[in-house]
Structure 1
Amino acid sequence: MNRIALAQKETAVRDTRIATLRPIYLDHHSTTPVDPRVAAIVLDTMVNAFGNANSVDHTHGEAAMDLVERATAEVADLTGSDVSGVRFTSGSTESIRLAIGHAIAMRGGRALRIAATTVEHQAVLDAIGIGVRSGLAEVLWVDVDAEANVRPESLQAALRESVDLVCVMAANNEVGTIYPIEQIARDVHLAGGKILVDGTQAVGRVDLRVTDWDLDYLAFSSHKIYGPKGVGALAVAGNDVHTEITARVLGHDGTLNVPGIAGFGEACRLIGLEGVGDEKRVRASRDRLEARLLRDLPGIVVNGNRGNRLAHNLHISLPGLPNDAVIGRLRNKVAVSTGAACSSGAQTPSHVLKAMGLSEEMQEGAIRIGLGKYTTQDEVDCAADEIVAAAREVAESMQGVRG
């Protein structure tokens, strides 16, 4: 038995032993489990294709570079971009920082005028904040409505202010609302600006076409599409000198994470082939879970745009029930979250829910549920039972305290 087969056998034995100890996993916005087919590619690359992709003087390096090039083609195919416009990073956060940093560098010393929605991921807000605090950028905020939809009048008002860069996520990481990126990109370019799209939650689930839609920057991560952590990409529109400049500024001279990149490429290939079918099944499971909760928990509210949201997203509020108390009772049974992984567990309210204008009671009772392609119907039914039971326990305990 070779080393790969032995390692796979040991992993299978370990997973079988601890499977019964794991709670049902419904936090796929935070991260997804690695597809076993992807894991096999990563392991094979680590063991058998371990060469440095920059060492092209021998066949080991050539083999590694070949894997990188194949992965680049898969990323480009999934996002509708040119291979020359794909740059690998450690993930969406690095991609976002590189994009904003590059946009700042291209302004020739003048402060970059940025417009961003008030519900952007914290990674975007942090990158913008760095630019503002350093005097290299200024920001205009684009408002959203109660379903987290971008308010067109607010976006148009920002575009009339001659903004250089507009930051709009493809889909919201908390309430799942999907944004009309093609139209927004068209409006941004007509106003003379560029667009940065955070596609972290959307790539592979929502149609995004970098070249056709002229998306100046598209950032996303491998671990949101059943690939390994620690790798992502920044795809840029392949037009005129912009791609050439971007390649020079953002190109990496360091050692490439070949196993991660190879796994990322395979994850892109698989979601491109199977994503439509997976999304259909996930949506049906989400709707089943939603129906159960709406039936058994009077007063529950589903947040976001229910007619235009990510298939795996279910964001609810249990008014009057503190979400930390409910999640505490679910901790060893069902894995859900109060919001984005970067701020989960924090005592500060979600900036997304606040921007939507939700009441404090709705914000304090908010729970984010994210299903995945491996979520079974039995798990959905069991999770529904556990969530209902936890909510009722919290309600009863609070009634006891008040009594």
Structure 2
Amino acid sequence: MTDSYPIYLDYHATTPVDPRVAEKMLHYMTTEFGNASSIDHCYGDRAQKAVSQAATQVAELIGASRKEIVFTSGATESINLAIQGTIFAHTPATGKPRIAVSPVEHKAVLDTCNALAKKGLAELVYLRIDSQGRLDLDELQQVCATGVALLCVMAANNEIGTIYPVETIGNLTKTYNIPFLCDASQAIGKIPIKFQEWGITYLTISAHKLYGPKGVGALVMRQGYRLEPILFGGGHQQGIRSGTLNVPGIVGLGEACRLRQLEMAEDERKIAALRDKLQGLLLKEIPGLVINGDMSDRLSGNLHISVPDIPNSAVISRVRDRLAISTGAACSSGVETPSHVLQGLGLSSQVIDGALRIGIGKFTTESDIDRAAEILGSEVRAIRALMEA
């Protein structure tokens, strides 16, 4: 970054748009600006062709069919459509439909489930996790055996980076014929996902997590399943999601997916090396540093740390002009409440209060890593000296 900007290490919150993606989008903002639903002239035809191509690009990255792609405004809308649409379409023989959900899901999942439960429309079953955020698969099988209307488990955690065994979970839900919603916002473009092969029913994508634009995403919906729409007005996308299609955004999502398919493996290898270097430097620079999450199975760019004797707000206030890191999920930033993810892991209040999320991406450099370690180490030492004075 230039001297006027801090080093950006908050890639879990959002990623910079790849310039190649932005170039494609600009063309569909200014030259090919047609409405994809206007079928009476070539502008609309070309817009619709671009949307179709983007659907193919998304589908190819995740092992789905183009016909299974429903474009949305992002993962939050996709999650709401999948959860609410499932419950509104559900007709249980007796009692309320049950939703089984991991307690460390994104707030978009948890808040939607809680809203339905509060209205008496669903019953929630929270799954068990350990101190590293890993699911108890034996307990999950027992829950599935009792029958649930929907299972919600993310592909990778947005705070601690823990990767979940989606293929194993998908096979389990197939055995018990349970719809499976997988929030893959943090995972798409970082780890391989095989939608059809792994038995996922609904998959959510947000473009801005994989070097695409904000405000566009997709719900991947397995053929043969039915959702009640939550938006009405025109019956777009087979009546599942009405609204004029964001053609430039959709083109951006498609191009971002195409590029990730080509470059993901090499990029993630480099990103993991940078993460490991930063982790090693910080462990040397900061005595007592704690690494949170599953260190053996986490996203390449994730480094979630705690300095147990120093509030994270104290660190952020001293580094914010030089280093862009966060105290937790962007969905809850500015809200003075402890992380529900870290609370769900059963961590001590000191570890939770000292937690910092570092996200590394494809535009992070070696010098960024060296400088970030120097800044954090120096400021932690300074804070400790003040506390001891």
d(CA) in 2 for partners of 1:146, 1:253: 41
Contact 1:199–1:218, Cα closer than 8 Å, also in 2? yes
| Corresponding position: 1:91 with 2:80 | no
Paired residue type of 2:58: V
Work out which of the residue numbers 247, 251, 256 in structure 2 matches 1:262: 251
Paired residue type of 2:220: A
d(CA) in 2 for partners of 1:312, 1:305: 13
Alignment deviations for residues 20-42 of structure 1 (CA, whole Å, 9 cap, x no partner): 21000000000000000000011
Q: CA deviation at 1:204?
A: 1.4
Contact 1:102–1:249, Cα closer than 8 Å, also in 2? no
Alignment deviations for residues 225-282 of structure 1 (CA, whole Å, 9 cap, x no partner): 00000000000123xx326988977523321100000011000000110011100010
Could you say what secondary structure the match of 1:95 adopts? helix
d(CA) in 2 for partners of 1:66, 1:249: 16
d(CA) in 1 for partners of 2:79, 2:47: 26
Partner of residue 225, structure 2 = 242
| Corresponding position: 1:22 with 2:22 | no
Could you say what secondary structure the match of 1:189 adopts? helix
Partner of residue 220, structure 1 = 205
Partner of residue 196, structure 1 = 181
Mark the runs of 5 or more structure 1 residues left unpaired by the alignment. Answer: 1-17
Alignment deviations for residues 52-101 of structure 1 (CA, whole Å, 9 cap, x no partner): 11001100111111110110000111111111110000000000000011
Partner of residue 348, structure 1 = 337
The answer to which of 105-114 and 330-339 deviates more is 105-114
Partner of residue 161, structure 2 = 176
TM-score between the two structures when normalised by the length of structure 1: 0.92
Residues 3-402 of structure 1 aligned to structure 2 (within 5 Å):
19-108=2-91, 111-238=96-223, 241-242=224-225, 251-400=240-389
Label 1:44 to 1:145 Cα distance change in 2 as closer, same or farther (>3 A): same
Partner of residue 232, structure 2 = none
Paired residue type of 1:86: I
Contact 1:98–1:250, Cα closer than 8 Å, also in 2? no
Paired residue type of 2:180: I
Q: CA deviation at 1:214?
A: 2.0
d(CA) in 2 for partners of 1:385, 1:256: 46
Mark the runs of 5 or more structure 2 residues left unpaired by the alignment. Answer: 230-235
Contact 1:143–1:355, Cα closer than 8 Å, also in 2? no
Number of aligned residue pairs:
381
d(CA) in 2 for partners of 1:237, 1:172: 23
Partner of residue 11, structure 1 = none
Could you say what secondary structure the match of 1:143 adopts? coil
d(CA) in 2 for partners of 1:152, 1:231: 33
Structure with more helix by fraction: 1
Deviant stretches of 4+, over 3 Å? 243-250
Partner of residue 8, structure 1 = none
Q: CA deviation at 1:108?
A: 2.2
d(CA) in 2 for partners of 1:341, 1:162: 34
Contact 1:210–1:236, Cα closer than 8 Å, also in 2? no
Partner of residue 233, structure 2 = none
Could you say what secondary structure the match of 2:192 adopts? coil
Label 1:137 to 1:187 Cα distance change in 2 as closer, same or farther (>3 A): same
The percentage of counterpart residues that share the same residue type is 46
The answer to which of 155-164 and 138-147 deviates more is 155-164
Label 1:395 to 1:244 Cα distance change in 2 as closer, same or farther (>3 A): closer
TM-score between the two structures when normalised by the length of structure 2: 0.95
